[in-house]
């Protein structure tokens, strides 16, 4: 069950990680693996892309009637791989119905035949080059007969998946009026070995499971990774040297540091929306307290002292409130309080106990784990506790994390173990916030603790 | 049966006392040869075989049941006998809770066991604690029997 990975990332890997997280890096410069996007000249016979056109279809409409869109291959070899990922991204949302057909990039497509085919939109794409690849892409509104987007992307061919995700993001945004989430990553915990003593590694992969890489060696139990807002750092819990506490991993340098000094176990970290603080819990006596740790000065401030277990804190996107779990009332339930501490108010009143709340980046929902009758469920509710909806259930489903536009949740799903641990499996799934389109993310190992990265800024 | 066990323990104490100048109870060398059979006095194996290394908790609870207290009483007596031994108490949970809550619940369980030992006279400096939440199950299955085994605090010699 050993993995062929380096325990610590070397300089080359660090450079690679840095590049992966920087779209602004230009081709031909010191960094050759970023993606450069330039507008294509508009065709004379079409309306130029306005850059901020109103989408006519909403996500809610697309759920019931997926948008029919024609996407042909972007050419042989790499071109075909790129269009394949664009198609996979869009189809994976459940909001698009992708069809094959003729579009081309050289001229205006045959709108009449695309219309007859039932298409609402069409994409023309062509990839060229080998060491560095250039992809021309045009998105057409078939009904209006006009171009919505025309862009040429250039990058190292090693970065072809990223080009595909960026193109899919553009199509999603132009068609639905909201930013896509395909050019994002998941931090997670890779799990291997016998269930009673699993090897756990901090790992990172593209949102769709591609390009997975291990960031720690697996020597110590490692859990709960969380991205910072600029997605270049990951806070996580490591049992290094048998002293469980929160560390911050810097993706650019590959270095990690201990976050603050606590008497007990520090765990369950989350960055504040502006990235300047981490809220976490630390055990003490028969419970655990919540603390704010300032990343600049390292100073810490205790914000709960109930004597009970207070844990799983998460900021509201405006930074003004914190939702957390507490068993101060007898069983674990969700509470809301001011981000400076104080005024805690219980918000969960459904059947069973509650855990791992996470605030949607849109601010309108809190996703959580609920346990009832020995089974787990994943749900969402308004920040005031109203409108509770269960999205999915299972033996174990826990640890929700929102994609950057708040439309999809990733989570951990585990099956029950029989004798000797047989039948146990741990993986990552995604589901739309309406409970529709649940899908597994393919990972090469067992996986848990997904944390969705923010979008590139 | 019980009488024999006490007799064996008495012998072990006597042997340990004889060799206590050079030999710590936690070491395996001299103790093992001095005793015909069985683990070295004051060792982890001794704790497991002759005292009981773990106590169990009810669902979502950290309170000590009578049998748990009885085991901890024996651990306190054993620790009094081997004052050079330090221990680690690891709290664990079944997998019917969230990962984060269970880290805290496991620590609450470990601390409850530690506090009991300290109240029985064991120096707090000799006891460290840790929680593995639901990540180190003793029993591999997912049924009531396995879960009851996995809700525990396990004492080991450091």
**Domains in chain B, ordered, with CATH?**
2-157 (3.30.1330.60)
- Predicted local confidence at residue B155, as pLDDT: 98
Check CB contact under 8 Å for B112 and A286: yes
Q: Pick the more confident residue, A167 or B4.
A: A167
Two structure tokens written together for A449? 């603790």
Q: Which of B67, B59, B65 is nearest to B94 (CA)?
A: B59
Please say whether the beta carbons of A121 and A140 come within 8 A: yes
Check CB contact under 8 Å for B105 and A309: yes
Q: What is the 3-state secondary structure (H, E, C) of A12-32?
A: HHHHHHHHHCCCCCCCCCCCC
Which residues, 6+ apart, have CB-to-CB distance to A115 below 8 Å?
Answer: A142, A143
On the question of pLDDT at B110 being above 80, the answer is yes
On the question of pLDDT at A153 being above 70, the answer is yes
Q: Pick the more confident residue, A91 or A24.
A: A91
- Predicted local confidence at residue A456, as pLDDT: 82
On the question of pLDDT at A457 being above 70, the answer is no
On the question of pLDDT at B76 being above 80, the answer is yes
**If pLDDT is split at 50, 70 and 90, which confidence band does A20 have?**
low
> A355 to chain B: which residues are within 8 Å by CB?
97-98, 100-101
ipTM of the complex, rounded to two decimals: 0.90
CA atoms in the 13 A half-sphere facing the CB of B81: 23
**Nearest residue in chain B measured CA to CA from A239:** B132
- Predicted local confidence at residue A14, as pLDDT: 54
pLDDT tens digits along A83-125: 999 999 999 999 999 999 988 777 899 999 999 999 999 999 9
Straight-line distance from the first to the last Cα atom of chain A, in angstroms, rounded to the nearest whole number:
38
B149 shares contact with chain A (CB less than 8 Å): no
Q: Which of A196, A197, A236, A189 is nearest to A214 (CA)?
A: A189
Q: Pick the range with the lowest mean pLDDT from A37-46, A413-422, B8-17.
A: B8-17
**If pLDDT is split at 50, 70 and 90, which confidence band does B36 have?**
low
- Predicted local confidence at residue A45, as pLDDT: 39
Percentage of the residues of chain A whose pLDDT score is greater than 70 = 89
On the question of pLDDT at A433 being above 70, the answer is yes
On the question of pLDDT at B48 being above 90, the answer is yes
Please say whether the beta carbons of A251 and A203 come within 8 A: no
Residue with tokens 């603390």: A291
**If pLDDT is split at 50, 70 and 90, which confidence band does A419 have?**
confident
Two structure tokens written together for A186? 């998941």
**Domains in chain A, ordered, with CATH?**
35-176 (3.40.50.10070), 185-452 (2.120.10.30)
Residue with tokens 């028969």: A286
Nearest by CB to A264, which of B97, B107, B133? B107
- Predicted local confidence at residue A107, as pLDDT: 82
Check CB contact under 8 Å for B108 and A374: no
- Work out the average pLDDT over A333-354: 96
On the question of pLDDT at A446 being above 50, the answer is yes
- Predicted local confidence at residue A25, as pLDDT: 41
Q: Pick the more confident residue, A230 or A52.
A: A230
> A396 to chain B: which residues are within 8 Å by CB?
95
> CA-CA distance, B75 to B83, in Å (whole number)?
12
pTM for this entry: 0.88
Burial of A68 (0-12, 13-18, 19+ CB in 10 A): middle
Element (H, E) at B25: none
Q: Pick the range with the lowest mean pLDDT from A22-36, A99-113, A210-224.
A: A22-36
Check CB contact under 8 Å for B98 and A356: yes
On the question of pLDDT at B4 being above 60, the answer is no
**If pLDDT is split at 50, 70 and 90, which confidence band does A21 have?**
low
- Predicted local confidence at residue B63, as pLDDT: 96
- Residues 17-56 on B with a CB inside 8 Å of A are none
Please say whether the beta carbons of A359 and A339 come within 8 A: no
> CA-CA distance, B64 to B116, in Å (whole number)?
9
Q: Which of A163, A156, A102 is nearest to A135 (CA)?
A: A163
B130 shares contact with chain A (CB less than 8 Å): yes
pLDDT tens digits along A286-300: 999 999 999 999 999
DSSP letter (8 states) at residue A456: P
């Amino acid at each position: 069950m050993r993995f062929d990975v380096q325990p610590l990332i070397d300089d080359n890997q660090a450079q690679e990680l840095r590049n992966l997280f920087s779209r602004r890096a230009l081709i031909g410069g010191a960094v050759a693996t970023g993606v450069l996007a330039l507008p294509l000249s508009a065709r004379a016979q079409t309306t130029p892309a306005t850059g901020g056109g109103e989408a006519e279809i909403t996500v809610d409409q697309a759920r019931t009637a997926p948008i029919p869109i024609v996407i042909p291959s972007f050419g042989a070899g790499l071109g075909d791989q790129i269009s394949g990922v664009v198609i996979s991204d869009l189809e994976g949302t459940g909001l698009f119905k992708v069809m094959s057909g003729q579009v081309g990039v050289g001229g205006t497509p045959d709108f009449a035949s695309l219309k007859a085919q039932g298409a609402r939109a069409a994409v023309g794409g062509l990839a060229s080059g080998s060491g560095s690849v250039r992809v021309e892409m045009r998105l057409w509104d078939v009904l209006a007969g006009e171009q919505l987007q025309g862009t040429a992307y250039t990058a190292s061919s090693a970065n072809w998946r990223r080009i595909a995700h960026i193109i899919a993001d553009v199509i999603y945004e132009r068609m639905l009026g909201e930013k896509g989430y395909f050019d994002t990553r998941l931090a997670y915990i890779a799990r291997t070995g016998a269930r009673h003593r699993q090897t756990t590694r901090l790992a990172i992969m593209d949102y769709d499971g591609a390009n997975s890489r291990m960031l720690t060696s697996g020597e110590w139990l490692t859990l709960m990774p969380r991205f910072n807002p600029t997605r270049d750092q990951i806070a996580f819990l490591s049992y290094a040297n048998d002293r469980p506490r929160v560390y911050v991993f810097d993706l650019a340098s590959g270095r990690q540091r201990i976050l603050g000094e606590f008497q007990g176990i520090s765990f369950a970290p989350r960055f504040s929306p502006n990235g300047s603080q981490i809220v976490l819990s630390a055990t003490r006596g028969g419970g655990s307290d919540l603390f704010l740790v300032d990343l600049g000065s390292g100073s810490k401030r205790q914000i709960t002292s109930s004597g009970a277990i207070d844990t799983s804190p998460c900021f509201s996107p405006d930074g003004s409130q914190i939702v957390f779990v507490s068993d101060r009332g007898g069983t674990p339930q969700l509470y809301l309080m001011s981000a400076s501490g104080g005024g805690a108010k219980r918000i969960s009143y459904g059947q069973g106990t509650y855990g791992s709340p996470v605030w949607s980046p849109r601010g309108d929902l809190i996703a959580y784990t609920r346990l009832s009758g020995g089974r787990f469920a994943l749900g969402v509710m308004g920040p005031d506790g109203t409108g509770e909806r269960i999205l999915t259930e299972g033996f174990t489903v826990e640890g929700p994390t929102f994609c950057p536009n708040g439309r999809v949740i990733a989570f951990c799903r585990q099956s029950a173990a029989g004798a000797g641990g047989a039948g146990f499996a741990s993986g990552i799934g995604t589901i739309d916030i309406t409970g529709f389109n649940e899908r597994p993310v393919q990972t090469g190992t067992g996986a848990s603790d997904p944390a969705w990265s923010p979008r590139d800024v | 049966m019980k009488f024999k066990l006490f007799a064996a323990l008495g012998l072990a104490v006597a042997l340990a006392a004889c060799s206590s100048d050079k030999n710590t109870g936690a070491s395996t060398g001299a103790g093992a040869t001095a005793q015909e059979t069985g683990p070295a006095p004051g060792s982890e194996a001794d704790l497991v075989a002759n005292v009981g290394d773990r106590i169990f908790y009810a669902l979502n609870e950290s309170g000590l049941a009578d049998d748990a207290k009885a085991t901890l009483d024996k651990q306190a007596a054993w620790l009094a006998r081997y004052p050079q031994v330090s221990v680690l108490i690891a709290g664990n949970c079944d997998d019917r809770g969230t990962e984060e809550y269970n880290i805290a619940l496991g620590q609450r369980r470990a601390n409850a066991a530690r506090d009991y030992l300290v109240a029985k006279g064991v120096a707090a400096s000799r006891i460290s604690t840790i929680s593995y939440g639901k990540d180190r199950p003793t029993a591999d299955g997912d049924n009531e029997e396995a879960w009851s085994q996995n809700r525990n605090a396990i004492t080991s010699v450091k």
